[in-house]
Amino acid sequence: MDGWLKALIAVACVVIIAGGAYYAIKKNTVATQRAADEKEQQVRETCALAEKNKGFAPALYQDCKDRGY
């Protein structure tokens, strides 16, 4: 094969690998952010419940208060 054809194939491979890596990183970032948002929502809901029932779980209430929820 000619040198230019080998170079063309190599460049095409690099482009495809780079595109796949970009897609995977983007997908992972979205999933990580979604998981963080869900965890934050759970913490807020738990702290709201702890605030309503301060006598039931005073340590949890204090922890939520210390964290600023």
The string of pLDDT tens digits covering residues 14-23 is 999 999 999 9
**What is the pLDDT at residue 1?**
66
**What is the pLDDT at residue 18?**
98
CA angle, residues 32, 36, 41, in degrees to nearest 5: 150
Provide the phi-psi class of 57: left if phi over 0, else alpha when psi is between -120 and 50, else beta.
beta
d(C-alpha 22, C-alpha 51), whole Å: 43
User: pLDDT for 27-54, tens place per residue?
Assistant: 999 999 999 999 999 999 999 998 888 8
